[in-house]
Structure 1
Amino acid sequence: MSMQNVLILGVGNILLTDEGFGVRAVEYLEAHYRWPDNVTLMDGGTNGLMLMSNLMDCDFLVVLDVVLGPKEPGTIYRLEGENLRQSLSFRDSMHQTDLLDTLVTCELAGHRPNAVVFGIQPYDYKSMEIELTPELQAKLPEFCEKVVAELARQDICAEKI
């Protein structure tokens, strides 16, 4: 098992329908899985630079978010490197600052974690509604299973409760 410090960070604005999917995904992972001691799950909301100390404390960052990609709503993405800006939290949005800029700031301060985004194409991320759209709510278990499976391939193993 990997002993690196892992942060699974659900981000987004839960007041804007599917924009809150990352937060809902981290809640699902907390409720349905038992994680090793070196893994922290966190609701990052729209905190931007305020997450910097949490990011600097981890070696591997897994961001759960919505992604504006070229495919239809409900499509699941895995992003790394330059593709990170497809994630709503990795581009200029209503968040305080985008997370890619926050990672660059971490690097300037001495430690930038490796990062990967698991995201999903939203159906509606502009309507003021606290619940996910029914279509994205239905995709939540599948999305989380893909995240857990991908992490297991990297020796970060969770146990289903």
Structure 2
Amino acid sequence: MSIETQRILVLGVGNILFTDEGIGVRAIEEMQSGYQFSENVTLMDGGTLGTRLMDYIMESDYLIVVDAVLGDSDPGSVYRLTGEDLRQSLAFKNSMHQTDLVDTLVYCDLAGHCPEAVVIGMEPADYETMAVGLSEPAQAALPHMMQRVAEEIRKAGATAEPVSQ
């Protein structure tokens, strides 16, 4: 399969009820209205669905997970994680989401197809306070995070262009 035709899934994960823990979902919401994508790109709110995402993941060739990441940097810092570094993403920790997303990827592999995966994540300022809005640092860094996701989509062979206002 050529890079231009690979199916790209951009999966925003997190719990929107706990401030910055929902940063991945909020980024997807903003990108759906603020960007245009080629037909081979699917944006999805994965919430905290865990293994219920297997079918969607297995139907993709390239997976971009958008999430909060604990990387010991300043709140709002944006990261790109691959390989073993994926476990820094909150989606890959049992305590935050319903199931460990690394386990979900292992199950996909066992079931016959696991796409290449990358995480574009942001250091949260607050992921414990029950509130539906993002913290100020996360909200301020959201445009940068979305730009990084768009760059990743382009590197994977698709288009992601901001919509003119």
**TM class, shorter-length:** over 0.9
**Segments ≥4 residues shifted beyond 6 Å:** none
- Structure 1 residue 91 displacement after superposition: 1.6
Q: Determine the structure 1 residue equivalent to 2:21.
A: 19
Q: Partners in 1 of 2:109 and 2:155 — Cα distance?
A: 26
Deviations 1:61-111 (A, max 9, x none): 000000001212111100000100000001222322111100000000000
Residues 91-146 of structure 1 deviation map (CA, whole Å, 9 limit, x = unaligned): 22232211110000000000001100000000000000000012211111111012
Q: 2:76 aligns with which of 65, 74, 77?
A: 74
TM-score (normalised: structure 2): 0.94
Is 2:148 aligned against 1:151? no
CA deviation profile, 1:25-65 (whole Å, cap 9, x unmatched): 01111111111111100000000001011011101000000
In 2: Cα distance, 1:37 partner to 1:69 partner: 33
User: Which sections of structure 2, spanning at least 5 residues, go unmatched?
Assistant: none
Please say if 1:95 is aligned against 2:97: yes
1:35 alignment counterpart: 37
Match of 2:60 in 1: 58
CA RMSD of aligned residues (A): 1.1
CA contact (8 A) 2:150 2:161 kept: no
Residue 2 of structure 1 deviates from its aligned partner by 1.6
Q: CA–CA distance in 1 between the matches of 2:82 and 2:136? A: 28
Size of the aligned set, in residue pairs, is 161
Structure 1: tracts of 5 or more residues without a match: none
Q: TM-score, normalised by structure 1?
A: 0.96
Q: 1:159 to 1:43 in 2, by over 3 A?
A: same
AA partner of residue 148 (structure 2): K
The corresponding residue for 1:141 is 143
- Which deviates more, 94-103 or 143-152? 143-152
Secondary structure (helix, strand or coil) at the match of 1:149 reads helix
